[in-house]
Amino acid sequence: MKGTQLHCLCMILLHLLHTAGSERFEVLGPTDLIVTVAGDDIILPCYLKPNISAEDMTVDWLNLDFLDSRVYRYQNHRVIRDDQIPSYRGRTSLFEKELWRGNTSLKLTRVQGTDEGRYKCFIKAKSWYDDFTIQVLVKAVGSKLVVSIEGHREGGMGLLCESEGWHPEPELVWLDSEGVHLSAGPPETHRDFKGFYTVKLHVIVQETDTNRFTCRVQQSRINEKMETEVHLPSELFHHTSPLRMAFIVLCCLGAVTVIGLSLAIYCIRNKKGVIIDQLKRQRYDLKKEKGKYCLQIITLLTLC
């Protein structure tokens, strides 16, 4: 009896060891950084070694730079979307017809800036699991530089340079005609919901021999750079000082006020004279009418 039980136990252990051994696998992928252009589709390679079927396994793709990290999940022969990162919905898929030979690569469409990060391919069987991490860099070259003249600022001329649609965040600088960096305030940076950057930089320039200034934007990680030059006519720097301009404006306002008051007084006096003449005329007419009535009364009394 004891021999039979021992024999059954050994058979079970051998079966478990055989099953565990048959499920042992290694998850592999590329070791190099994957660089992709924003807007393109990309495949994140991941596969099993040996090339056993992953159809009955759980396939998880995670973005480790997100708090809620799930990008994609395949489990029990179906896709689970309950806790997927919202920005990945409708843009991720596996090659399900390739699962039988261990291909668990992820296809990501319409790549955007927020897709950059570290991706983990995690594969779990009943008694074994393994994972592999891939680094993805998203490259996006922004729009052409736009330079605006903001007018006179603190004894110089204010300039604004801006560009949008970059990833990663670029560096924006102002240079003089000799290529020397100009002192400017901190850049204004805005990142939209897709992860693309808009950068702006203000600078105040003084008149020089050339009056030529250059705005440059560069992103060293993706080896991209562009620049534009602006030439300011000397006439723009020759202007009336703010204090003098304020004095002229006040003088003009004072002159207008004096002229207005003078016209008002003249009109009032002129109107007053007209009213007095009208009153005098009415008084004369009343006296004339009074005399006429008195004459008529005297005539009537005489006749009586």
pLDDT band at 260 (very low <50, low <70, confident <90, very high): low
**Pairing state of beta strands 129-139 and 34-37?**
parallel
Asked if pLDDT for residue 240 goes beyond 90, the answer is no
Lowest mean pLDDT across 24-38, 193-207, 278-292? 278-292
Q: Name, of 13-22, 169-178, 285-294, the range with top average pLDDT.
A: 169-178
Which stretches does DSSP call E strand in 105-187?
106-108, 117-124, 129-139, 146-153, 156-166, 171-175
The 8-class DSSP code of residue 275 comes to H
Dist CA 292 CA 9 (whole Å): 153
Asked if pLDDT for residue 293 goes beyond 60, the answer is no
Token pair belonging to 280: 């005098």
pLDDT band at 287 (very low <50, low <70, confident <90, very high): low
Asked if pLDDT for residue 253 goes beyond 80, the answer is no
Mean pLDDT of 73-100: 94
What pLDDT does residue 235 have? 83
User: Which three-class secondary structure state does DSSP give residue 140?
Assistant: strand
Asked if pLDDT for residue 10 goes beyond 60, the answer is no
| Concatenated DSSP letters of 37-77 | ETTS-EEE--EEES----TTSEEEEEETTSSS-EEEEEETT
Mean pLDDT of 86-94: 96
Calculate what percentage of the chain has a pLDDT beyond 70: 73
Dist CA 227 CA 213 (whole Å): 10
Dist CA 297 CA 299 (whole Å): 5
The more confident residue out of 133 and 265 is 133
pLDDT band at 39 (very low <50, low <70, confident <90, very high): very high
Dist CA 115 CA 118 (whole Å): 9
Q: How do residues 124-183 score in pLDDT, each as one tens digit?
A: 999 999 999 999 999 999 999 999 999 888 778 999 999 999 999 999 999 999 999 998
What pLDDT does residue 237 have? 80
The more confident residue out of 290 and 29 is 29
What pLDDT does residue 236 have? 82
Burial 95-121 (b: 16+ CB within 10 A, else e): eeeebeebbbbbebeebbbbbbbebbb
Torsion from C-alpha of 18, 20, 22, 25, nearest 10 degrees = -150
What pLDDT does residue 17 have? 38
What pLDDT does residue 68 have? 83
The more confident residue out of 65 and 8 is 65
Asked if pLDDT for residue 110 goes beyond 90, the answer is yes
Asked if pLDDT for residue 241 goes beyond 70, the answer is no
Mean pLDDT value across the chain? 83
Mean pLDDT of 259-270: 67
Element (H, E) at 296: helix 242-303
User: Which three-class secondary structure state does DSSP give residue 240?
Assistant: coil
Dist CA 17 CA 30 (whole Å): 31
What pLDDT does residue 223 have? 92
